[in-house]
Amino acid sequence: MPSHACSPTRRIGHRLLAAGLLCLGLAGAAHADLWAFVDARGVTHFAAEQLDERYTLFFRGSSFDSERDTGVPAQTQAARGRVQSYFDVLPTYKSAQPHLRRAAARSGVDYALLKAVIATESGFDTQAVSPKGALGLMQLMPATAERFGVAPTGARSLAQQLHDPAVNVPAGARYLRHLLDLYGGQLELALAAYNAGEGAVRRAGQKIPPFRETQNYVKTVLALYRQLQPLAPVGAAPRAESGARSSRIRMTLPGSASGTFDEKREP
């Protein structure tokens, strides 16, 4: 990814987030832990396990099923509020919010899910570029973006288009909507395909592929998605934001395998 200096406001916001990584209340079993670190550019990286010594424990989660565990204890509500507040201080998230809201309303993908995917994919860095060429907030490969309606114009190349949140987020939401429909609303499979490719899910027998990176990715997005659900009174079920259709959240996934895989690069 190209380097660029952070503005003073952005640096302050990320310092607050970094401090928050160290002081969140930790409780529950270790089925949905989330680790994070803030890099030198001020971009937050999340993972479902401690990938290296830079990662600190963001929160320790427990097994969760939104169709079973509808009650939200006060302690969980408080922790969730703290997680959400850390995102709210990020100028990059604030600037992306209108695009997320419109994309959620138009695609029917839950706003909180889009937020979790972007946080995992790019840390809300609009200029993010992966080693293999995935671009922008939702880290779309150019071929995937074209498949879902993005095309170069006379004024801007395809890459320039994908660095624009007004283009990137709706295209990514359309792709995620397609995957959710393709897998009958099975969120874990849709996320696995978003990361590893539809072909990899098919070859795995319509299951999450046995790649450590992909399983970590699915766990990470689901863990963030749970924490980013709209706050509700104790005992109330989570509600989707912006009128979007929500998907069932299940937090217990297969253990990580030892294989390696290059995300979103397989047809």
Q: How many CB atoms lie within 10 A of CB 195?
A: 29
CA distances from 71 to 80, 181, 240 (A): 14, 28, 16
Q: How confident is the model at residue 145 (pLDDT cuts 50, 70, 90)?
A: very high
Q: Which residues pair with 25 in a beta bridge?
A: none
Q: What pLDDT, in 10s, does the model give residues 249-264?
A: 333 333 333 333 333 5
Please, what is the end-to-end C-alpha distance for the chain in angstroms?
23
Catalytic residue among 121, 188, 198, 241: 121
Tell me the C-alpha distance between 169 and 198, whole Å: 20
Per-residue pLDDT, 53: 85
Per-residue pLDDT, 46: 79
Q: How confident is the model at residue 47 (pLDDT cuts 50, 70, 90)?
A: confident
| Three-state DSSP state, 265 | coil
| Three-state DSSP state, 213 | helix
DSSP assignment string, 156-191: --HHHHHTSHHHHHHHHHHHHHHHHHHTTT-HHHHH
266 is annotated as an active-site residue: no
Per-residue pLDDT, 209: 96
Q: What pLDDT, in 10s, does the model give residues 104-133?
A: 999 999 999 999 999 999 999 999 999 889
What domains can be seen in the chain, in order of their start residue? 8-227 (1.10.530.10)
Q: Who contacts 40 (Cβ-Cβ below 8 Å, separation ≥6)? A: none
Residues 148 and 158: beta-carbon distance below 8 Å: no
pTM of the model: 0.72
Which pair of structure tokens corresponds to residue 194? Answer: 């978003």
% of the chain exceeding 90 in pLDDT: 47
Name the DSSP letter for residue 236: P
Beta strands in the chain (DSSP E): 34-38, 44-47, 56-59
Tell me the C-alpha distance between 114 and 194, whole Å: 12
Q: What pLDDT, in 10s, does the model give residues 62-98?
A: 544 444 444 455 556 666 777 777 788 888 999 999 9
Which pair of structure tokens corresponds to residue 9? Answer: 């406001």
Residue type for position 178:
H
Per-residue pLDDT, 36: 80
